[in-house]
Amino acid sequence: MPELTNIALGLGSNLENRTANLNAAVGRLSGRIVEGLVCSSFFLTDPVDCPAGTPSFLNAAVAGTTFLSPADLLDRCQALERAMGRPHYHACHSDRIIDIDILLYGQLTEAKRRLTIPHPQLMGRAFVLEPLCEIVPDWPVGAEGKTVAVCWAELSGKRP
């Protein structure tokens, strides 16, 4: 039987009704993909590494548990993105109705062609660390084992 694993996902939207898009994603994730889902506040953020004129993003993080393997979790998140209107093939850093990224999967640290855990840009993105810190500040990240709160403090210059 698959093992129940703690997970954290990042959510983002910069098209149409961003709040409704995030709420819809949270609703579809809860209980179907993520058990015991906890959601951060929604954070309005400037686009990062996007073309000029890209609309602002609304970002959030969710955490909970899943029985899905990392690959199955990725498949389910991508299927949810497509069901909500995001094209399967899209340009990197393009506008999106919804984006769902696997940020953390237990204490797993791995880099595969299709999926890297923890998320490879986790440590350098305030729009990911701030909402994540709100819901799972004590979660150790990566090989160094720094907590999410310490990572956020280092990035933001704030004390944990």
Please list the active-site residues. Answer: 86, 96, 99, 101
**Residue 60 to residue 11: CA distance in whole angstroms:** 5
Q: How many CB atoms lie within 10 A of CB 157?
A: 6
Taking CA atoms, 83 is separated from 87, 98, 147, in Å, by 9, 10, 34
Task: Judge contact between 100 and 81, C-beta under 8 A.
Answer: yes
Copy the structure tokens of residue 131: 């909402």
Q: Which H or E element spans position 22? A: helix 18-29
For residue 79, count other CB atoms closer than 10 A to its CB.
Answer: 12
Name 54's bridge partners: none
